[in-house]
Amino acid sequence: QVVERCLELGAASARYISGSMASPSLPEEVLREAENTWGGLDMLILNHIGQSGFTFFSGDVGHVRSLLETNFVSYVALATAALPLLKESEGSIVVVSSIAGKIAGPFTASYSATKFALDGFFSSLRQELIIDKVNVSITLCILGYINTESAVRAVSHVIPDSPAPKEECALEIIRAGALRRRELHYPGPAIGSALLLHSLAPELLESLLRSSYRLENVRR
């Protein structure tokens, strides 16, 4: 369906590979397909997550390990496999993350940990590429509440805010990668305000977050 839609919108060609990002072999398969089909790679957009609830931390350490494998380690594996092609094209890596990777709120302990890990790894890698004079940009996308089906299903019973449109968000992600921006904040005003308040008064921000949720709807 995605391929059909891409072609309808005017793409010259579109291909897909199906598989689980928990598989250690999939990153190499994806990059081999890109090289064989197009002869290279201009932009790698990392945007996949494992299943995670919006609830109190249950103590399930196994789930934390599994989520780190999908939400973090597979991102590193894909980026590592793609770097030789991206160095040739002087291309871009776009990492889709979350405000939960900058500000830790309640009910997202495992998910938030994986997003903080993305910031740490790719922010460090960006500096190493600069030191080595490698012209590959890294854009970290800090997203708020977006009206994707999975996000609305997971948090709409707890978060009363209206989600931002996914179509506009997708365009902003592509634009940020093409412009080789360091970070994208979307929706901008909400994310920018939260990050500023977090740096100035983190306890106040945390209190506001807790008071804004419908806590009676949070399942333990």
19-60 confidence digits (pLDDT tens)? 888 788 888 899 999 899 889 999 999 999 888 889 999 999
| pTM attached to this predicted model | 0.93
Across 102-208, the runs of DSSP E, i.e. the strands, are: 137-143, 183-186
Mean pLDDT of the chain: 94
Residues with catalytic roles = 111
What CA–CA distance (Å, rounded) separates 47 from 176? 14
Q: Residue 61 is encoded by which pair of tokens?
A: 């350490």
- Report DSSP state, residue 72: I
Q: How many CB atoms lie within 10 A of CB 100?
A: 20
Mean predicted confidence (pLDDT) in 151-179:
94
Q: How many CB atoms lie within 10 A of CB 16?
A: 11
CA dihedral 22→138→82→130, nearest 10 degrees, is: -130
Domains along the chain? 40-217 (3.40.50.720)
Quick one: which of 52, 46, 56, 80 has its CA closest to 66?
52
- Report DSSP state, residue 137: E
111-160 confidence digits (pLDDT tens)? 999 999 999 999 999 999 999 999 999 999 999 999 999 899 889 899 98
Q: Residue 112 is encoded by which pair of tokens?
A: 């938030």
N-term to C-term CA, the chain? 37
Q: Residue 45 is encoded by which pair of tokens?
A: 């957009």
